[in-house]
Amino acid sequence: MSQTKPAIPFQSVVMPEALQAENRIQFRCHQDISCFNACCKRADVTLAPYDVLRLKRRLELTSTEFVRQYTVPFQMDGDGLPGIKLKTDENGTCLQLAGDAGCGVYTDRPTVCRYYPLALLALREKDSPTAEERYSLVREDHCKGHEEPREISIQYYRAEQGCEDFDAHNREWYQLVLKKKSAGPTVGQPPQTSLQLFFMASYDIDTFRRFVLSENFRKTYALPDGFYAEVEQDDEALLAFAFRFLRQVLFGERTVQEVADAWDQRVAQRREVWDARKQAEIERRLAAEDRKYAEGGDGVCAE
């Protein structure tokens, strides 16, 4: 059985047991616990796409502004698949920590923060096309929540922490990352343009929207007018399309129908542009030569 943890950044010990939703854990975090905010002061939070969407809206920023101001990049695999983490200060404290009051964006906090002290795992049997979600328990010395006298099933803990909505929006992205990691060298390293598209579609949704609404995109892909009206206004709908589009970009799956002969048309258009540029350059050089001779250059004496 292969394992991957596409959304789990924890550096602490993860218990090897793969738990299921009906398993119970002993844990409770609350404002009066002695370690309150300790995890936020040693933050290592990997962000999934829906996390970015929620946080950029909460902070009233574009996705581009949010990624630039509040995240740091890292590579999720040996091929350079891009990931991002929440930025911290020089001491490792999350920038969203609002002092003793706790998380300043609590209702929109990322998936990793909601799951803690659980790690979300994607487990896939060999040769199986789908992965199943399992959970591992994270124990860190600073966390006293494990000592609290409360038992709760993982199913109810996830519901209590609002994980289900985040998982629903991120699940297909997790599957993409899992497929990329599981494929290994058989797929080969994606070209740089594919990695750039992955970053844009995963994290910079506002830039991806401009890309999708562009004239060139409309000419390339056969999508109904209603689609463009929807994704222009609806972040979640655009995010769902982004994952669909990435399947085509990363794995060559025909998830988005192209306009007939769209590629040949693009090649022809580019050839016309290059031919025009080449002709303009030839004319510029001839004009420069004419001026040089008219001015007596290149050893020619003007009478």
Given the structure tokens 């008219």, which residue do they identify? 294
Residue 279 has φ and ψ, to the nearest 5°, of -65, -40
For residue 77, give the nearest of 173, 3, 181, 179 by alpha carbon: 181
Instruction: Give pLDDT tens digits for 6-54.
Output: 443 434 444 457 899 999 999 999 999 999 999 999 999 999 999 999 9
Residue 281 has pLDDT above 80, yes or no: no
pLDDT of residue 205: 98
Mean pLDDT of 285-291: 75
Round the CA-based radius of gyration of the chain to a whole number and report it: 26
Instruction: Give pLDDT tens digits for 215-258.
Output: 999 999 999 989 999 999 999 999 999 999 999 999 989 999 99
Every domain of the chain and the residues it spans: 2-184
pLDDT of residue 13: 42
pLDDT band at 78 (very low <50, low <70, confident <90, very high): confident
pLDDT band at 298 (very low <50, low <70, confident <90, very high): low
Given the structure tokens 């609404």, which residue do they identify? 213
Q: Is 120 helix (H, G, I), strand (E, B) or coil?
A: strand
> Across the chain, what does the average pLDDT equal?
86
Measured between alpha carbons, how far is 36 from 104 in angstroms, rounded to an integer? 14
How far from the centroid of its chain's Cα atoms is residue 268's Cα?
33
From 50-54, 59-63, 92-96, 180-184, the region with the lowest mean pLDDT: 180-184
